[in-house]
Amino acid sequence: MLIQKPADIHPSEITPPELYARRREFIKTAAVLGAAAWLPPILRGRIAQAADEDLKPTPYKDITSYNNFYEFGTGKTDPAENAGSLKTKPWTVVVEGHCEKPGQYALEDFLASQQPEERIYRLRCVEAWSMVVPWLGIPLNQILPRFQPASNAKYVEFTTLLDPKQMPGQRTRILDWPYVEGLRIDEAMHPLTLLVTGLYGKELPNQNGAPLRLAVPWKYGFKSIKSIVKIRFTEQQPSTTWNREIPSEYGFYANVNPEVSHPRWSQNKERRIGDFFRRDTQMFNGYAEQVAGLYTGMDLHKNF
């Protein structure tokens, strides 16, 4: 099977987002409903509704025009309007800290020519809105072991590009730049944690974090740091941007938990972009079965 890289694909070969969404929805819904054919009618109906609501990707236009990316402005439309100034080629990633193979790597070497895979994840933001995004990316657990983390590497810290000339939002003092995020190393190595290089079958747009960002689907969106230029293995919990700025509102873990309200609003409901009605927020954003074991024995109200 021939696998094409984004640079090898002509615009005429790219499936229009509207057709892509319908195709993906049909394939995944058909698989779910096929398995449901053996269930009682009342359960079949519930599964059909869940498949429709949970797997339909948000339109490409919405994903790329409604963003949080303070490096380009605090408004939701600012990133799409201002991110054209970002130059993503060439791009380097620095690896440092408690590992055997630190260094500065060209993006191509950092990714080691691994082909991205498609994953459709729910993205849940702390402002109580959400999207369903068809990401292209590489599981982080296929990348990090190459740098041979030391036994005392308990966390992974990520840093966004700092360049006020390209990122006009960094000319303000809205945050203490550069943007920094972090994960416990077992969270970083979880199979769901994705190093994203694209969406909807295309290269990642600047406003969505090009050329390299995280997708950690069971956490609030601010944990999925964008435009990554540095990865550092640490023994101590990193001092992350929003946790440092407003620790009473933004915890280090930032796991989606409807039982823990933001001090200024409830988190038990969310509105998916494009929908009129709000829906119940799911524990761990719907990924509890896969990730709850990471937090066994922890007080999730204290470690929010």
Give the whole-angstrom CA distance, residue 160 versus residue 173: 16
5-25 pLDDT tens trace: 334 433 333 445 555 555 554
Give the whole-angstrom CA distance, residue 211 versus residue 229: 10
Give the whole-angstrom CA distance, residue 202 versus residue 63: 13
Give the whole-angstrom CA distance, residue 278 versus residue 130: 10
| Mean predicted confidence (pLDDT) in 245-252 | 96
- Classified as helix, coil or strand, 243 is helix
- Residue 235 has φ and ψ, to the nearest 5°, of -90, -30
Percent of the chain exceeding pLDDT 70 equals 82
What one-character DSSP code corresponds to residue 205?
A: P
Domain membership of residue 165 (yes or no) is yes
120-165 pLDDT tens trace: 999 999 999 999 999 999 999 999 999 999 999 999 999 999 999 9
Number of domains in the chain: 1
Q: Look-up: residue for tokens 């990633």?
A: 93
pLDDT at 88: 98
Kindly provide the b/e burial profile for residues 177-197, where b requires at least 16 CB atoms within 10 angstroms of the residue's own CB.
Answer: bbbbbbbbbebbbbebbbbbb
Q: Look-up: residue for tokens 């954003």?
A: 285
pLDDT at 41: 43
Domain membership of residue 33 (yes or no) is no
Domain membership of residue 144 (yes or no) is yes
| Mean predicted confidence (pLDDT) in 29-45 | 39
**Sequence-ordered list of residues with C-beta below 8 angstroms from that of 12, at least 6 positions apart, any chain:** none
Domain membership of residue 31 (yes or no) is no
pLDDT at 289: 97
Least confident of 203-207, 271-275, 292-296: 271-275
Q: What's this model's pTM, rounded to 2 decimal places?
A: 0.84
Domain membership of residue 15 (yes or no) is no
- Classified as helix, coil or strand, 66 is coil
283-295 pLDDT tens trace: 999 999 999 999 9
| Mean predicted confidence (pLDDT) in 44-66 | 69
Give the whole-angstrom CA distance, residue 164 versus residue 74: 15
Give the whole-angstrom CA distance, residue 227 versus residue 223: 13
**For the domain that residue 235 is a member of, what is the CATH number?**
3.90.420.10
pLDDT at 298: 97
pLDDT at 34: 41
**Structural domain range at position 158:** 87-292
